[in-house]
Structure 1
Amino acid sequence: MAVILGERGRGKFKPAPDYDVDEVKALLNQKIEEERMAFADCSEQIEFDQLKYDTNKWNLLSLFSGCGGLDLGFELAGLKAVMGETVMEKAFADKEVFDANIENNVFNTIYVNDIFDEARETYAQNAGRYVYMDKSDIRKIKEFPKADIVLGGFPCPGFSEAGPRLVDDKRNFLYLHFIRCLMQSKPKIFVAENVKGMMTLGKGEVFKQIVQDFSAAGYTIYHKLLNSAEYGVPQVRERVILVGVRNDLDYQYVHPEPTHGYGVENLKEVVTLRDAIGDLENDPGDYFTGSYSTIFMSRNRKKNWSQPSFTIQASGRQAPIHPGGEPMVKIGKDQYAFSDGEENNRRLSVKEIARIQTFPDWYEFSRGSSNRNENAKLDLVYKQIGNAVPVRLALAVAEPIAEYAKRDLANQMVETEQVRLMA
């Protein structure tokens, strides 16, 4: 764990292992109050007349949406609730089927916000329908639109176990704007995703504070750490899934039970790299090239074909090594090497990591229109894919909510009809 010093570069982080719980709480309260004071400076206006609401669906609002992994999982779950699993799987496999059935859905996405230009471009070109795309800094948005459900994976660099673990990283407090959105939008349900490290930062006090703040907004909170590999994703990726249900609703969310496991009775086998990308071995598409840092080579970065992938990072340079060839070997403390030579090893391609994140093959990723070199353009795609929620994990999380939304919409139709008959 660390705190930020008023300096630039690597020296700006100071380890703080001796923080006690009371000090963490005091620091959190200070930072939360500072962020709340900034609410008064909100000035960005959403063009509410441009939002396409549908009264026959749950209207969906997406924050920190990235390229749309979480949202796509909800779209597919909403389609499955209406049309069944067969049509949903066909839509997953075929863009034309997806577009043709986008309206056969319990969810209707009205608004998406992210400051990452290429990610928004990716989202827009794959959405299948008109969606209001907002690039505003969430901290500057004055008023959020009404919605039935809000999704978002608020930024997590300060929580990540791979980073400096900053309790007072400003990005740790962007979740307060998520809560501000909830208080204005008043959705029935919200879903938020974050990294495993969120639960342990500041001896667990950061996570307790976040749950408390979401609860204070009027929601019953259900949270659980899920491993993507247990839900059909060919990747070991642990993420915290927070689901909030508005307190006036008679609904209890239950996180999905695992569908995949290692030799577990009644569960499917974990999806391996061979299952996911074996057919791309001779046609992988573009991949990031360049040297490997000493940090990268400090541990094994290469799984074999019969295993799921390491966690996909939001960086081309940090992409895992393709499973082909010989395994990496340990040659010293925190030091690995390629036993068959660096020339016989490469990073996973963007096409391969998209598969590993369970994006459909038809999903197209924007590389932007800048004059960057090819590696830099590719890195924009690695960043989008690595930051996303795996689509199959999002689908599993969304399915019980989609079923509840379907029942809720049916009840609304009955009530509307009863009012009409009594008029």
Structure 2
Amino acid sequence: MVVVEKKRARGKFKPELRNLTASEVKEILLKKISEEELAVPEDMEELKKLSKLNPLKDKFNVVSLFSGAGGLDLGLELAGLSTVLGDSAAMDIFNSSKKNWDKNRSKSIFHTIYTNDMFKEANMTYKENFPSTVVQMAKDIRKVSKFPDCQIMVGGFPCPGFSEAGPRLVDDPRNFLYIHFIRALLQAQPEFFIAENVKGMMTLGHGEVLKQIISDFAAAGYTVTPNLVNARDYGVPQSRERVFLIGVHKEKVEKKYGYKYKLPSPTHTENEGLDIFLDKKPFVTLKEAIGDLEDAPGPYYEGAYSTIYMSRNRKKSWNEQSFTIQASGRQAPQHPGGDPMTKIGKNKWQFNGDNNRRMSIKEIARIQTFPDWFKFSDGENLNISKNGRIDKVYKQIGNAVPVLLAKAMVQPISDFIYKEILKEHAS
């Protein structure tokens, strides 16, 4: 089904639905992508960078788009290490030190060869924490002419172009970034792709947006399963709902090996006392995650609170999970210490006592399950305020996929690759 916008009063658009066959969808998609490619000039500097790629034959080479600070990429790498060494050993290494991680990370079955993101400070962070990545681009994906071959592609494409009145999709003249994610897939033809997005994607255009995106990915040669998950169900001390689109290549994987992605069962539960019978652990609490940082939290965003901030509760207790970490220092949740906030009117809350502050950079990084050795860059720009530089870091952390959530989503794929595909390559 393709959605076209139909003009209506006051400049609003009403979605008009057209039922198309799979072949018609593919024809529209390929035509749109062909038009986009013709508009992209060949960049000699870009091609020069690509000549430095270092894909490895005994690994699954990774291309990461909209890579940011690398939360999804680190989770992917951790899943690949867990597959080889076992989960306990991999987690011990992950939680030890950067020196130990760097010493062992090459044992992972995943090897990142290319990233692309336009967020300068996030790219600086990525470079420091993923030193072996060969090609790092900082370019609008719509202007990238050539994407390298790979076996797995990851990224969370933004979708700001979908209006509240209805989706604007492939036969609309406007460009959308997910089309360029598909363009990259068509060029590289990886065995798998993993894309993360916000929960709202499920309901945009009354669900028609998601249907269209899935049909477009299917036309590119992939079977796609959308999965709505909450990070706290997989050991992340945060209630954070996100959609993961898992793509499996129809010919290279599904038809050849009979593989279908199955969402891993949650590992954690809120049913205290039942976790033993359910073979699950209790949700990770804020006390467990950041309790040891209470007296030494490190830098945090300071300043006044807006009426929007004070319109709802911003403070969870120590025995709960955090609110969703947002990409803004100003909007960071309150530290759980001190007295709880109280509601004093419609959309109006107040602080109590003197122990009230936003969570620090180190605390929200922990809540996003980044290890303590992972260093974030503020860009070292002395022309902006301290709060401004700090906010650059909050944005990187809030935009990232929680590392342990990424690991959980990738683990079934990683285990399958190691047992079936890489074993076949080795023989």
- When normalised by structure 1's length, the TM-score is 0.87
Aligned to 1:233: 236
User: Contact 1:156 / 1:171 at 8 angstroms: preserved in 2?
Assistant: no
Quick check: 1:329 aligned with 2:342? yes
- Contact 1:155–1:172 (Cα < 8 Å) also in 2: no
What secondary structure does 1:80 align onto? helix
Could you tell me which of 275, 280, 297 is aligned with 1:267? 280
The residue number in structure 1 matching 2:375 is: 364
Which letter does structure 2 place at the counterpart of 1:329?
Answer: T
Deviates more, 1:149-158 or 1:274-283: 149-158
Equivalent residue number for residue 395 of structure 1:
407
In 1, distance between residues paired with 2:166 and 2:328? 20
Residue 103 of structure 2 corresponds to residue 100 of structure 1:
yes
- Kept in 2: contact 1:57–1:106 (CA 8 A): yes
Residue number in structure 1 paired with 2:216: 213
Q: Matched residues in 2 for 1:369 and 1:254: separation?
A: 43
| Maintained 8 Å contact 2:14/2:165 | no
**Aligned position for 1:279:** 292
User: In the alignment, which of 75, 82, 93 is matched to residue 80 of structure 1?
Assistant: 82
User: Structure 2 vs 1, CA of residues 140 and 327 (structure 1 numbering), >3 Å: closer, same or farther?
Assistant: same
Alignment partner of 1:180 is 2:183: yes
Report what 2:40 is aligned to: 42
Alpha-carbon distance, 1:130 to partner: 3.6
Is 1:202 the counterpart of 2:213? The answer is no
Paired amino acid for 1:196: K
The one of 59, 66, 83 equivalent to 1:64 is: 66
- Residue identity matched to 1:332: G
Change beyond 3 A, Cα 1:110–1:31 = closer
Give the CA deviation at 1:152: 0.4
| CA displacement at 1:19 relative to structure 2 | 3.7
Q: Which residue is equivalent to 2:54?
A: 52
Q: Tell me, what secondary structure is at the counterpart of 1:103?
A: helix
Confirm or deny: 8 A CA contact 2:65 2:155 kept in the other structure. Answer: yes
Pick aligned residue for 2:393 from 381, 406, 415: 381
* Other structure's SS at 2:106 match: coil
Q: 1:257 aligns to what?
A: 265
1:37: how far off?
3.6
User: Residues 146-172 of structure 1, C-alpha deviation per residue, up to 9 Å, x if partnerless?
Assistant: 00000001114457xxx9788459998
Contact map agreement 2:15 2:165 (CA 8 A) in 1: no
Aligned CA distance change for structure 1 residues 98 and 15 (closer, same or farther; 3 Å): farther
Percent identity of the aligned residues?
51
Equivalent residue number for residue 138 of structure 1: 141
Per-residue CA deviation, residues 337-385 of structure 1 (Å, 9 max, x unaligned), is: 1132xx5311000000000000000000000022211000000000000
Quick check: 39-48 or 87-96, which moved more? 39-48
Q: CA deviation at 1:30?
A: 11
Cα contact 1:35–1:173 (8 A) shared by 2: no
Which residue of the partner structure matches residue 332 of structure 2? 319
From 226, 244, 251, the equivalent of 2:247 is: 244
SS in 2 for 1:339: coil
What SS does the aligned partner of 1:364 have?
A: coil
Match for 1:68: what amino acid?
G
User: What SS class does the counterpart of residue 371 from structure 2 fall into?
Assistant: coil
Q: Does 1:405 align with 2:417?
A: yes
Amino acid in structure 1 at the alignment position of 2:390: L
**2:105 match: secondary structure:** coil
* Cα distance change on mapping 1:86 and 1:174 into 2, 3 Å: same
| CA–CA separation in structure 2 for the residues paired with 1:122 and 1:345 | 29
Unaligned runs of 5+ in 2: none
CA distance in 2, matches of 1:36, 1:262: 49
Note the alpha carbon deviations across 1:167-188, whole angstroms, 9 max, x for none: 4599982011000000000000
- CA gap of 1:164–1:235, structure 2 versus 1, over 3 A, is farther
- Aligned-partner SS, 2:107: coil
Q: Aligned partners of 2:339 and 2:241: how far apart in 1?
A: 27
Contact kept? 1:102, 1:129, Cα under 8 Å: no
CA deviation vs aligned residue, 1:314-336 (integer Å, no higher than 9, x gap): 00000001111111111111111
Answer whether contact 1:234 1:270 (CA < 8 A) is retained: yes
Instruction: Go from structure 1 to structure 2 and tell me whether the alpha carbon gap of 1:287 and 1:171 turns closer, same or farther (over 3 Å shift).
Output: farther
What number of residue pairs does the alignment pair up? 394
Q: CA deviation at 1:21?
A: 5.5
List per-residue Cα deviations over 1:229-251 (Å, max 9, x = no partner). Answer: 00000000000011111001221
- How far apart, CA to CA, are the structure 2 residues paired with 1:66 and 1:321? 25
Match of 1:418 in 2: none
TM-score between the two structures when normalised by the length of structure 2: 0.86
Q: Does 1:308 align with 2:306?
A: no
Post-superposition Cα deviations, 1:47-69, rounded to whole Å, max 9, x if no partner, equal 22111110011111000010000
Check conservation: 1:222, 1:243, Cα contact below 8 A.
yes
Contact 2:159-2:178 at 8 Å conserved across structures: no
| Secondary structure, aligned partner of 1:330 | strand
Contact 1:299 1:336 in 2 (8 A): yes
Quote the offset at 1:83 in angstroms: 1.8
Write the distance in 1 (CA, Å) between the matches of 2:300 and 2:175.
32
